[in-house]
């Protein structure tokens, strides 16, 4: 069974997807980490982010893989061609670069191919922007999480502060707004709910409430 969880930045996708996967004992795939890894490699190699030929070659020739930390239930360590980039892909430079890279057709085709291969494992929660619409349109359950822009930037700022990053709330809001605009207006696989997605507005809901709703959808589907 595939559970697709899509939504914009700060909607709670990652946290909810991980908790649902843990609760159900499902595999877990963070597709955003894959685009981030390609963006990171393009930055390190000094490739112009709009150069589809060169960024496309990176995406087509790399392997993004995941591993478990010791004692962790889910594979949250991220590697590109064996290099551990778990922390590096969360840098603000990658935040700023990733949407441009993710808008390129060749990059998306290469990532979707890897995602479909990984997603062929039987029970899995996959989070992203286009999982229910493009990557796995036949997913048994599709969830689209939203939240107000204020709430989403508040959550992202709190997340960064918890990681010890010095946070400028206006800057966080601006970065999220820019990325959302780019992700929702791009020509290929824009961020949008699948027609058959269950949309949950998480503004004002606790994490437990959101997870409980997702799990309830699954129980209806799989009594
Ligand atoms: O965690 P956050 O929601 O901020 O972002 P992410 O899931 O790590 O995704 C980073 C970026 O990758 C997004 O802003 C999109 O540009 C891109 N992405 C995508 O295009 N398609 C996906 N399935 C997942 C991410």
Report the predicted TM-score, pTM, of the whole model to 2 decimal places.
0.95
For residue 100, the surrounding DSSP H or E stretch is helix 92-102
Confidence (pLDDT) at 55: 98
Could you check whether 1-26+123-223 and 31-122 share the same CATH topology? Answer: yes
Q: Measured in Å, how far apart are the chain's first and last C-alpha atoms?
A: 13
31-122 belongs to which CATH class? alpha beta
CA 32 to ligand 1 centroid distance, Å: 4
Q: Which strand ranges, in their side-by-side order, compose the sheet holding 124-128?
A: 27-30, 124-128, 2-6, 141-146, 198-201
Q: What are the sequence ranges of the domains in the chain?
A: 1-26+123-223, 31-122
CA 177 to ligand 1 centroid distance, Å: 13
Confidence (pLDDT) at 221: 66
The superfamily in CATH containing domain 1-26+123-223 is P-loop containing nucleotide triphosphate hydrolases (3.40.50.300)
Ligand 1 pocket at CB < 6 A: 9, 13-14, 31-33, 35-36, 98-99, 102, 128-131, 179, 183
Mean pLDDT by runs of 10 across the 223 residues of the chain is 96 96 96 98 97 98 94 94 96 94 98 95 94 97 96 90 83 92 94 96 95 91 60
Confidence (pLDDT) at 222: 63
Confidence (pLDDT) at 74: 94
């Amino acid at each position: 069974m595939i559970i697709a969880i899509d939504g914009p930045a700060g909607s709670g996708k990652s946290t909810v997807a991980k908790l649902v996967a843990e609760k159900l004992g499902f595999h877990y795939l963070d597709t955003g980490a894959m685009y981030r890894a390609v963006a990171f490699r393009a930055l390190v190699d000094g490739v112009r982010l709009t150069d589809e030929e060169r960024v496309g070659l990176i995406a087509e020739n790399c392997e993004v893989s995941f591993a478990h930390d010791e004692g962790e239930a889910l594979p949250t360590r991220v590697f590109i061609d064996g290099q551990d980039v778990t922390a590096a892909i969360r840098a603000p430079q990658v935040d700023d670069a990733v949407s441009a890279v993710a808008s390129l057709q060749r990059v998306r085709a290469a990532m979707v191919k890897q995602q479909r291969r990984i997603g062929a494992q039987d029970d899995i929660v996959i989070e992203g922007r286009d999982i229910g619409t493009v990557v796995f349109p036949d997913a048994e359950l599709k969830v689209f999480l939203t939240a107000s822009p204020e709430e989403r930037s508040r959550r992202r700022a709190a997340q960064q502060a918890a990681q010890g990053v010095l946070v400028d709330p206006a800057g966080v809001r601006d970065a999220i707004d820019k990325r959302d605009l780019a992700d929702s207006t791009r020509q290929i696989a824009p961020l949008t709910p699948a027609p058959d997605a269950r949309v949950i507005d998480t503004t004002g809901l606790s994490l437990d409430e959101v997870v409980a709703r997702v799990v309830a959808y699954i129980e209806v589907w799989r009594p």
